[in-house]
Structure formats: structure tokens, C-alpha cells
A = this chain, B = another copy of it.
Amino acid sequence: MNISDIRAADARLAGRKRVTPLLSSPFLDEIAERPVLVKAECLQHTGSFKFRGAWSAISALPEGTGGVLAFSSGNHAQGVAMAARMRGLPAVIVMPADAPRLKLENTAALGAEVVTYDRETEDRDEIGSCLADMRGLSLVKPFDNPDVIAGQGTCGLEIAYQAKEAGVTEATVLTCCGGGGLTSGIALALEADAPGMKVRPVEPEGFDDVCRSLKAGEIRSNPTMAGSICDAIVTPRPGDLTFPIMHRLCGPGLAIPDEDARRAMALAFVRLKLVLEPGGAAALAAALFHGNDLNDGPVICTASGGNVDPGVFRAALDRYPEG
């Protein structure tokens, strides 16, 4: 994988993706004691960056493809559903039956066929491969797929361009990091277009598989998947494709407590007028509250998604009514 894959994905995404704005607030700069730029990917189609990778992968499928298949209970599901609809392909999304009702409904409303399974008694992969065989569907993985990584990388091309317009060419770029699709894609894009920038992944404390993998120089897994409010960026382990890219290009990872994500959500509400989900606020939390762990100079954070339950959002505002 290299920058030409990302440029090719960018060409496929032209006129499809939203070029999301790079925002800032003097109030956030003051808290962080440095310039903070926020890449508002929550404003991407379906409320997260996932649409980029989904369209990149789905638009690259050969003619005659029978449709697409994805496993996801979250943002990837909606991104794939919308991208498939844009290409006029059927999409089957395999989701756990106990996923939040709104996410099931939204995915279906975007035109996908939602197939649910029982997490306790059924084998997700078996259901998926059975459906794929029967109907000739192509699997779109959430991060360990070159076209998906290339699609997420288009976010990095925009960061390089927009930051330069704002006069910033050297910066720490903090990414909300799950399996590493967004992080590795951005890192590849910045290596080419903004070599003065260094990407550092941000994860929830206790679910810092990428942090630990980068430190160890080999893939480490999370002992458990449950227990963080930052669910969108909790994954079992980094991907086989994403990890080598991150290992080559990314600085040490950072881990933030859930409480910092909550306060970053409240600050994004008050100061940026953005709705962020906890996992989408992790990078901003690191920029605002973990400056001691960062090099001097400006910070750019991805605000990677906004698909938050209203109750979770209200709780953040209740706790931090002034941000």
C-alpha cells in the first residue's frame, strides 16, 4: 500500500464524500495551551469517517458483483449501507440481535438488509460466509482491507491541505484509533503530503491494544472488549495490514480515561457546536488534557464520529455544563 492507492481512492470519492471542515476555537487553544485543530469527521455521511473507506472499497468492486456483506454493530454498518446504496448494490449487514435498536433501524433505513444473530448461540462468521456464498456477496472488512485503508487515508489528504491553508505544516496528529484503518490511512497520506506531521493513535485506557502493540513491536490484543464508553474504537487487536503501517509511521500511542472523553464531548458541544460520540472525542481529549505527553506545537485531532446515544450525550452535558 502507498500514497497512490490513497490518491486513487480520493478520485473515486470525489463528489461522493464530504470534505469535512477543520475547526478551531480560541477557548480550546487556551485549555490545551497550544493551537488545536479539529477534523470534523462526525459531519461525514452517516456521521463518521467510515463512509470514506466503505465507498472506496465498494466503488472498487468489479462489475457484476452481487452485493456486499459486512459485520458491524456500529459506524461501519451505516457507512457500508449508504455506499452500497449509492452504487446500487444490495448490502447485507450482519449485526448482533442485541445491538441498539436505533442502529439496527438506521442501517435498515439506509437500504441494507439487516441479518441479526444471537451472540451467545450463533456463529457470526458462519452466517456471513453462508450468505456470501449463496448470494455472491463481497465482504467489506471494517479496517483490514487495502481499499478501506486507502479510503480513510483521504481524510489525511484533506488534513494536509487544510492545515497548510491554516499555516500549519508541523503538528502532532492525534487519531481516534480502533483497528487502525483511519490511523494507518492518515499516516500514509501525511507521509507524502505533510511530512512534518507525526500521527499518534489515541485509545481508551484498558483497551490500548495499538499502544501496546506499537511499544512491543508486534501485535497485542485487548483482554476484553466490554467496559469502555468509547465503544466505537474498541477492537480486539490491530489489523494485519494496519499494524505494519502504524509501526513504521506512527509515534507512541496514548490512552485516555472515559471521563476525559466525556468532558471533550461537552467542550465540543459548547465550543465547536459538534456532536461527538465518546470514541470520536478520544483524540480531542488527549489534545486538551494530556498535553504533557505531547511534543510542543500545534495538535490536529480527528473527531471521527458523532453517532452517540442521546442519553450518553446528556450525561456528558450534565457533568460538564460549561464544557
List A residues at the B interface (Cβ < 8 Å): 18-21, 23, 26-27, 30, 40, 42-43, 47, 82, 102, 106, 109-110, 266, 269-270, 272-276, 306, 310-311, 313-314, 317-318, 321-322
Report the Cα distance A27→B78, complex, angstroms.
Answer: 13
Known A-B contacts A20-B21, A21-B20, A43-B21; the reply to A310 vs B274 at CB < 8 A is no
The answer to whether A321 and B317 have CB atoms under 8 Å apart is no
Tell me the nearest residue of chain B to A109, going by C-beta.
Answer: B27
Report the Cα distance A26→B46, complex, angstroms.
Answer: 9
Residues on the B chain within 8 Å of A82, using CB: 26
Interchain nearest-CB distance for A164 vs B (Å)? 13
The answer to whether B321 and A311 have CB atoms under 8 Å apart is yes
The answer to whether A318 and B322 have CB atoms under 8 Å apart is no
Tell me the nearest residue of chain B to A106, going by C-beta.
Answer: B27
Report the Cα distance A109→B270, complex, angstroms.
Answer: 14
Known A-B contacts A43-B23, A275-B273; the reply to A317 vs B306 at CB < 8 A is no
The answer to whether A273 and B306 have CB atoms under 8 Å apart is yes
Chain copies in complex: 2
Interchain nearest-CB distance for A150 vs B (Å)? 23
The answer to whether B321 and A310 have CB atoms under 8 Å apart is yes
Selected A-B contacts with CB under 8 Å, 6 pairs: A40-B43, A269-B310, A273-B274, A273-B275, A275-B275, A310-B322
Residues on the B chain within 8 Å of A318, using CB: 314
Report the Cα distance A110→B272, complex, angstroms.
Answer: 15
The answer to whether A310 and B317 have CB atoms under 8 Å apart is yes
Residues on the B chain within 8 Å of A321, using CB: 310-311
Interchain nearest-CB distance for A248 vs B (Å)? 33
Report the Cα distance A144→B275, complex, angstroms.
Answer: 33
Tell me the nearest residue of chain B to A102, going by C-beta.
Answer: B322
The 8 closest A-B pairs by CB, nearest first: A273-B306, A273-B275, A42-B273, A310-B317, A310-B321, A314-B314, A47-B273, A269-B275
